[in-house]
Amino acid sequence: MQGGVDVQEIDRLLNTVLPGVVRGAAASGDGRLYRTVMSRVEMPLLRLALELSAGNQLKAARMLGINRNTLRKRLRLLGLLPSARPSLHGAKTA
C-alpha cells in the first residue's frame, strides 16, 4: 500500500478484532454482519479521505480509487451527505 501504511499491522488488527465481532454477530443472528462491519470500516475511511482532500469529493474519490458518483452514493447511504434534492429542472415557478 502507498503512504507507508503497514499492511501487516492492518492484517494483525483485523485478525485480532474481527473474530470476536463475527462470533458476537453470529450469536445475535440478525444477518447484518457484513453491513455492520463494512460501515464501521467505510465511514472513517470516507471521512478521512474527505478530510485529506479538504472536502473535495473528486479528489477523495481519486484517492480511494472509486468513481465520484460511487463516493457520493456511499456518503449518502452512510448519512454523511444530505439526501439528493429534487431537481429544479422543469419546475414551474409562480
Grid cell for residue 2:
502507498
Q: What is the DSSP string of 5-20?
A: --HHHHHHHHHHHHHH
CATH code of residue 36? 1.10.10.60
Structural domain count of the chain? 1
27: left (phi over 0), alpha (psi -120 to 50) or beta: alpha
CB-CB neighbours of 91 under 10 Å: 7
Handedness of CA 8, 10, 12, 15 (dihedral sign): negative
pLDDT tens-digit series, residues 18-61: 998 888 878 888 888 888 888 889 999 999 999 999 999 999 99
pLDDT tens-digit series, residues 5-17: 688 998 999 999 9
- Please report whether residue 19 resides in a domain: no
Question: How confident is the model at residue 36, as a pLDDT?
Answer: 82
